Amino acid sequence: MAVSTRAASPAEVNIPHFNPASGPYLGRLMSTNRKEKLYLPLKVGEANHIFILGKTGYGKTSFMKALAEALWEYYTSRGQEVLIVIFERKYDYSKFQRLKAFWNKRVEELGKEEATRVHPYLAAYFGTLEKYPQLKSQLGFPGDFAMSIPNYILAETYVTRKPYPIDVFTWHGLQPDSFPTRRIVFRPTRAPEAIKLDNGGGKVEVAIGRIHLRDISFEMLARKFDIPKGTAYGRILRKYWKVYKIHDPDEILRRVKAEEPSMRESTYESLKSILDEIRADPLYLKGSVLKPKAEQVTRSGNGIYDEPKPFTDYLTTKAINIIDFSDNSELDLEEQRLIMYLLWQKIKLIAGRKRVDVWLFFDEIQDLIGTAGEASRHNLAWKAMEEIYRKGRSLSVNVVAGTQYLYKLPMSLIMGAAHIAVIGALASPKDLDILRVAIMDGERLRIPVEHDSFEEFLKRRKKKGRGWFSFDREFTVKMYFRPNQSF
How does pLDDT run across 317-345, given as a tens digit for each residue? 999 999 999 999 999 999 999 999 999 99
End-to-end alpha carbon distance in the chain: 36
* Pair (40, 136) in one structural domain: no
- Are 197 and 139 in contact by the 8 Å Cβ rule? The answer is yes
Examine the domain organization and report whether 217 and 251 are in the same domain. Answer: yes
- Residue 5's pLDDT band, with cuts at 50, 70 and 90, is very low
151, part of any domain: no
Residue 132 domain-assigned? Answer: yes
What is the percentage of the chain residues whose pLDDT exceeds 90? 58
Do 185 and 255 lie in a common domain? no
Cis upstream peptide for 163 (omega within 30°): yes
Q: Which of 140, 157, 172 is the last residue of a domain?
A: 140
Overall domain count for the chain: 3
Q: Are residues 22 and 69 in the same domain?
A: yes
261 in the same domain as 193: no
In tens, the pLDDT along 202-224 reads: 899 999 999 999 999 999 999 99
**What would the mean pLDDT of 426-452 be, rounded to a whole number?**
79
The pLDDT, as a whole number, for residue 398 is 94
Residue 78 has pLDDT above 70, yes or no: yes
Per-residue pLDDT reduced to its tens digit, 353-384 = 888 999 999 999 989 998 877 777 789 999 99
State which residues form the domain around 114. Answer: 95-140
Question: Who contacts 269 (Cβ-Cβ below 8 Å, separation ≥6)?
Answer: none
Q: Is residue 170 part of a domain?
A: no
Q: Is 62 in the same domain as 204?
A: yes
What number is the average pLDDT over the span 299-305? 76
**23 and 128 fall within a common domain:** no
Task: Give one DSSP letter per residue of 398-450, joined into a string.
Answer: EEEEEES-GGGS-HHHHHT-SEEEEES--S-HHHHHHHHHHSTTGGG-----S
Q: Are 461 and 442 part of one and the same domain?
A: yes
Half-sphere exposure of 129 (CA within 13 A, CB side): 17
Are 129 and 264 part of one and the same domain?
no
166 in a structural domain: no
Q: Are 198 and 178 in contact (CB under 8 A)?
A: no
Pairing of strands 466-471, 419-423: antiparallel
* pLDDT for residue 229 is more than 90: no
In the listed set 140, 171, 196, which residue is the last one of a domain according to the structure? 140
Q: Give the span between the Cα atoms of 13 and 246, in whole angstroms.
A: 67
Q: Quick one: average pLDDT of 30-50?
A: 81
pLDDT, tens digit (0-9, with 9 covering 90-100), for 41-51: 887 777 789 99
Looking up residue 407, the CATH number of its domain turns out to be 3.40.50.300
Residue 239 sits in the same domain as residue 373: no
Of residues 164 and 347, which shows the higher confidence score?
Answer: 347
pLDDT in tens, 80-135: 999 999 999 998 889 999 999 999 999 999 999 999 999 999 999 999 988 888 88
DSSP string, 47-113: ---EEEE--TTSSHHHHHHHHHHHHHHHHHHTT--EEEEEEE--B-HHHHHHHHHHHHHHHHHH-HH
pLDDT in tens, 404-432: 888 888 888 888 888 999 998 888 888 88
**Are 77 and 199 members of one domain?**
yes
Asked if residue 307 is part of any domain, the answer here is no
Residue 367 forms part of a structural domain: yes
Average pLDDT estimate for 234-251: 95
Q: What is the pLDDT of the chain when averaged over all its residues? A: 87
**CB 35, CB 28: distance < 8 Å:** yes
Give the domain-ending residue among 140, 166, 200.
140
Flag the least confident range among 196-200, 221-225, 448-452: 448-452
Domain membership flag for residue 486? no
pLDDT at 452: 61
User: Is position 305 within any domain?
Assistant: no
394 lies in the same domain as 321: yes
Residue 183 has a pLDDT of 98
